[in-house]
Amino acid sequence: MLRRLRNREGLTALLFLLPSLGGFAVFFLIPFIMGIYYSLMDSPVDGSFAGLANYRELLSNPVFRRAAVNTLVFTALCVPLNMALSLGLAMLLNRKLPFRQTFRIAFLGPLVVPVASVVLVWKALFDLHGSLNGWLVSWGIAPKDWMESSAALFVVIVVYLWKNIGYNMLLFLAGLQNIPADYYEAASIDGAGKFRQWRSITLVYLTPTAFFVFIMSIINSFKVFRETYLIAGDYPDSSIYMLQHYMNNMFKSLDYQKLTSAAFLMAIAIVLLVWILFLAERRISRTLG
């Protein structure tokens, strides 16, 4: 009787999941499988099997290598900065400060403001004749074309941090508020200083939250193409030419072989990275347990 009831509940759950599974299959799984297929062909129409030739050609392409290095550098710079700043803000707003609730709400602003309207502000700020250069000229400093120089990377980093710090800050804040205050009182009685408490209590109990924030920060770093594209266009400065720019330009030129090969390599890199992080988090959890 119990087994029959469980089977019925499982069937009911599957019926409710069918629309989501169907949408996932139609819009994600099937296109992904088709992309793998096209990456192994020499032409999307009446093509023949080419094996790994498209991947060899892609890896020998200097433009692709440049885009891959830029994406790696951007992620390596942004993710630690994002986590450090969001954790610092969360610890600051976890204290009893005036207007604390107002600051918490203000940091959520970038999540609800449309990207297209925000980009206009960033363009007006960092344009050659924009506000920032106007301030520099008033201080006797020569203006700089921010988006057409190596400084474009720092502009995109600022945009990424502005967009993502608030959300991660709230996650860290929720994690901090779930740590029992008794632990800090007991540590203080035992003679532990503030830094020792932060290292042995705060960081330890924030491990699951930090892992989730780390994963989301990496994923969001691959989504910065939207802002970069709207600010700098199809072919920005070489310092911010990302993998998404490369794939977008291959799509416009109808080079499906390079497009699908680059997309598949990017997917493999993300999956491997997340898998390694899951293994590391599981090992850390066992150690703490």
* Contact predicate 215/270, CB 8 Å: no
User: What's the mean pLDDT in 177-202?
Assistant: 79
* Residues 6 or more apart in contact with residue 165 via CB below 8 angstroms: 82, 85, 86, 89, 107
More confident residue, 242 or 112: 242
**If we measure between CA atoms, which residue out of 43, 7, 72, 54 comes closest to residue 269?**
72
Predicted pLDDT at 241: 86
DSSP 179-205: S-HHHHHHHHHTT--HHHHIIIIIHHH
* Contact predicate 193/46, CB 8 Å: no
User: What's the mean pLDDT in 205-233?
Assistant: 82
Share of the chain above pLDDT 90, in %: 2
Domain ranges for the chain: 61-288
Q: Would you say domain 61-288 falls under CATH 1.10.3720.10?
A: yes
Predicted pLDDT at 288: 59
Query: CA-to-CA distance for 40 and 112, rounded, in angstroms?
Result: 41
Q: What pTM was computed for the model?
A: 0.79
User: What's the mean pLDDT in 45-54?
Assistant: 78
Could you read off the pLDDT of 194-218 as tens digits, one per residue? 778 787 778 878 888 888 888 888 8
Predicted pLDDT at 218: 86
Q: What is the mean pLDDT of the chain?
A: 80
Predicted pLDDT at 81: 92
* Contact predicate 267/222, CB 8 Å: no
Could you read off the pLDDT of 78-137 as tens digits, one per residue? 899 999 999 888 888 887 777 777 777 777 777 777 777 777 777 777 777 777 878 888
Confidence of residue 253 (pLDDT cuts 50, 70, 90): confident
* Contact predicate 202/176, CB 8 Å: yes
